[in-house]
Amino acid sequence: MNISTWQAELSVDSRCELGEGPQWHASSGRLYWCDILGKRLHWHSPATAESGHYLLDQKVSLAAPLDNGGLLLVGEHSLTRFEPDSGTATHFADFEADNPVTRSNDARVDRHGSLWLSSMGKQAEPNAGSLYRLHRGKLEKLRTGLTIPNALCFSPNGAAAYFTDTPTGMVMRWALDDQGWPIDDPVPFADFSNHTGNPDGAVMDSQGCLWLALWGAGQVVRLNAQGQVIGRIDLPTSQPSCPAFAGADLKTLFITTAQEGFTPDQLAQEPDAGALFSVQLDIAGLAEPPLRLT
């Protein structure tokens, strides 16, 4: 099979310890992403090339745009409404607040404007994580016994969700009903258990193909509807964590990276680890709806 290849370029030298959760906020023209371990929320405006960050009081893994303005921060022990203009944060709901072992991890808004979000052990404790759906303000648990839940994304028609428990190397496909709730059990979609690198964050494009970060491999791969690799982006750093489409035409793929666990020698070999990278594509992303809380 012919595999298309691209080379990612440095976009913002954010030097995150654990960059994660890139999310395009179309109404403000900003891409937001998090340094989970550094407790920072970063932003970048592709149109103006401006960028900056906010300091946070907890580990946050996603800033989801809300349909009535502002952001919902997915944090290690709470969900918080955040107003970027003023920096005001307002508690919305607890999130595993009674469990000191876990923090939030991957999250993404589905086709119905609901938020899927996951937890994991702060030391990646086996089976400590869970998967939830926040639907119209009510948080419901979908799955438990996960270690590092990742790769949350959704088919263009909303009929399927995708996710992985990273240590398994297996990306799963989960059929959804017309309200976006899971049907039956998830089934295997793509197997990376014998591949260099582990499946991490993912996003869907407008053609129904899934772009998957391979942590440890320095790659983001594009998978077709059959789970076959049909494209590859190479990065100059080994720990890409999650991709997201952004920009007015949704043809720029941004990729967060990390330097988590690096020794000084590794940092010297990968000086851009933790930065935000980008690739210009002739493939458009899939516009994601803002989060509805009511």
Active-site amino acid positions: 200
Measured distance CA(92)–CA(100) in Å, rounded? 19
Measured distance CA(96)–CA(101) in Å, rounded? 9
Alpha helix positions (H), the chain: 264-269
Do 256 and 241 meet the contact criterion of CB atoms below 8 Å apart?
yes
The encoded tokens of residue 132 equal 């939830």
Question: What are the angstrom distances between the C-alpha of 150 and each of 47, 120, 161, 170, 214?
Answer: 29, 10, 12, 11, 11
Measured distance CA(187)–CA(196) in Å, rounded? 22
Burial of 188 (0-12, 13-18, 19+ CB in 10 A): exposed
Do 253 and 278 meet the contact criterion of CB atoms below 8 Å apart?
yes
Measured distance CA(218)–CA(221) in Å, rounded? 10
Q: How far is CA 231 from the centre of its chain?
A: 19
